[in-house]
Structure 1
Amino acid sequence: MSGPASMSGPKALPYAMSAPAFLLFATLLLVPLVLTALLSFSNFDHHVGVKAGLTLQHYAAVISDDFYHEIFLRTLRLSGLTTLICIAVGAPEAYFLSRMSPRWRAICLLIVLAPLLISVVVRAFGWSMLLGREGLINQLLELTGIGRQRLLYTETAVVVGLVHIMMPFMIIPVWTSLQKLDRSTEQAALSLGASPFTVFRRIVVPQVLPGILSGSLIVFGLSASAFAIPGLLGGRRIKTVATLIYDEYLHELNWPLGAAIAIILLVANLLIMLGYNRLMERRYRRALG
């Protein structure tokens, strides 16, 4: 009798220790998410607002209307393009960081992480000043003879702002993965006659893939749900899902429709990220043989 009773205490200890964190997580995330999902099924009338009863008309409106299709496709396109640019720029930058001396590495990491100390809104306003009609970039284009271009309130401006915001979230995971790479393995491959490209492809890339996977998932998820950058650099012309939800909640006051759009965005993000994760894991296993 004493044996099972004595074992129940140690087995229950991890659950008891994690219970406060779980309750905090449930309160701050799960409860609002459940309430949003329930709100998305509520009836709505423009004269009286949210009414009692359940309906699927908000989901049907989003799924059947080409207006919402265009906004979702634009959001996914901008998020995917931002992720690709962050991979193309951030992965090599992380590789060079891992090869620097500790002193210069600390300085460069400080430069990479310093923008995170500044508000996203402040950085967005900074880019709006640079990309504006009288901004520095247009002045440089005019000096080179290209002429002033309409850069602000375009998809290009949104991508530029998102890349600037999301770049640290790509560099740090890749750099962390490279810290586990043993340089002696590369030197051994070179001494056995492998070319530098083969060493990079067969040794470095498989080690970097987990960092690229985690970084790209973070960048894509944050970009797809970003509000400040599309709102300030895209304006009213370049509408994304986040700005659409904002309009439905605060301008149209159609909270159920805004909640339905938010849930659809969440589900779409999860499906895309899970599919991408599965694809990258297969490539990672194949690269490791």
Structure 2
Amino acid sequence: MTAGTATFLEPAKRRGTGNVAVALLLPIALVNAVGFIWPILNLAGLSIREALPGGGIGENFTAANWSGLLGDGFYIDLIVNSLVVSLTITLLTLLVSYPIALYLHRATGAWKSFLTVLVISPLLTSAVVRTYGWIALLSDTGPVVKAMTALGIPAPRLMFNTTGVVIGLTEILMPYMILALMAGFGRLDPRVEEAASTLGARPFAVFRRVVLPLTAPGIALGCLLCFVLAVSSFITPKLMGGGRVFLLATEIYDQAIVTLNWPLAATLSVLVLVIFGAALVLYSRAMRLLEQG
């Protein structure tokens, strides 16, 4: 083959490779368009439709849903409370899960496999069942309150309030946080910790200056995952909140099923998607800073 022929065939090869790539990507692109993009666009369109009495959806487009949402003190408090509760749950889940994930990362052999199975096993049980288990534990007649009373400790109310929701969701989200942390602990090399200790660093200094920076990607991933799950969680806040804890997910349910105000429910759903997008942007920037650092 001459040099001129090779030069002539090169664009054809590139076109053939491009066609194959398009053919391979087309099915998943169609699935995403039908199963993800189209429903989101439909939801966004529904959020600017007028709500008719009795649960009807009007034909006219209006910005009243958005203006009413952003101008109503109840919904502003609802958004702020949802963000605060979700961030609190994320932080508590991280604090409880980090030592477990770190221990699992350092474990070896059959012991590590056994502990990993224990961590994953709660995911095999429905969140509804686990929530009812927490209701039985934290109720006024449950073992937790009885034990505190027997010890002479004033027992606070642990059910049908934000405290119960935070406790329940923290435990429910722990497996997700632990698995995400372990997935991000790949850069943590025990030899680096040993080198820092050999150079005279105390255990806390080793953790602060070696372990924590190397495990930061796992922390960021786990926090993103748990925050998104906490914001969108419905079952646990509905059951353990007893209708007294108002969050975005529970309000969407009430507007769609109880009040039958579908446009407002769609508006709140789009707002949740915006929050998810903002969380992804923050996660991307955090990962970029970690890679640069």
List aligned pairs for 1:57-136, cutoff 5 A. Answer: 57-136=64-143
What's the CA shift for 1:199?
2.5
What is the percentage of aligned positions where both structures have the same residue?
35
Partner residue, 1:249: 256
Partner residue, 2:32: 25
Residue 185 of structure 2 is aligned with which of 144, 165, 178? 178
Moved more, 165-174 or 16-25: 16-25
Letter in 1 for 2:264: L
**Equivalents in 2 of 1:103, 1:172: separation in Å?**
18
**Equivalents in 2 of 1:8, 1:89: separation in Å?**
53
**Equivalents in 1 of 2:218, 2:106: separation in Å?**
16
**Equivalents in 2 of 1:75, 1:51: separation in Å?**
30
* Paired residues of 1:72 and 1:241 also in contact (CA < 8 A): yes
C-alpha distance 48-103 of structure 1, shift in aligned 2 (>3 A): closer
Matched, 1:155 2:141: no
Residue 200 of structure 1 is aligned with which of 201, 207, 210? 207
What's the CA shift for 1:205?
1.4
Q: Number of aligned residue pairs: give it.
A: 286
Secondary structure, aligned partner of 1:178: coil
**Equivalents in 1 of 2:242, 2:33: separation in Å?**
35
**Equivalents in 1 of 2:122, 2:58: separation in Å?**
45
C-alpha distance 93-9 of structure 1, shift in aligned 2 (>3 A): same
**Equivalents in 2 of 1:71, 1:104: separation in Å?**
45
Residue 231 of structure 2 is aligned with which of 205, 224, 230? 224
What's the CA shift for 1:32?
1.3
Secondary structure, aligned partner of 1:50: strand
Letter in 2 for 1:9: G
Secondary structure, aligned partner of 2:171: helix
What's the CA shift for 1:225?
0.9
Under a length normalisation based on structure 1, what TM-score does the superposition of the two structures give? Answer: 0.92
**Equivalents in 2 of 1:285, 1:9: separation in Å?**
36
Determine which structure has more spread, i.e. the larger CA radius of gyration: 2
Letter in 1 for 2:133: G
**Equivalents in 1 of 2:188, 2:275: separation in Å?**
34
C-alpha distance 193-141 of structure 1, shift in aligned 2 (>3 A): closer
**Equivalents in 1 of 2:22, 2:98: separation in Å?**
38
What's the CA shift for 1:250?
0.9
* Paired residues of 1:133 and 1:149 also in contact (CA < 8 A): no
Deviations 1:65-102 (A, max 9, x none): 00111111111111000111111111221111112222
Residue 266 of structure 2 is aligned with which of 250, 259, 263? 259
Residue 245 of structure 2 is aligned with which of 220, 224, 238? 238
**Unaligned stretches of 5+ in structure 1?**
none
Under a length normalisation based on structure 2, what TM-score does the superposition of the two structures give? Answer: 0.91
Secondary structure, aligned partner of 1:112: helix
Residue 15 of structure 1 is aligned with which of 17, 22, 45? 22
Partner residue, 2:3: none
Hey, which bits of structure 1, 4+ residues long, moved more than 6 A?
A: none
**Unaligned stretches of 5+ in structure 2?**
1-7
**Equivalents in 2 of 1:87, 1:57: separation in Å?**
39
Moved more, 21-30 or 223-232: 21-30
**Equivalents in 2 of 1:276, 1:182: separation in Å?**
24
Deviations 1:29-57 (A, max 9, x none): 22211111110011111147111121110
Partner residue, 1:189: 196
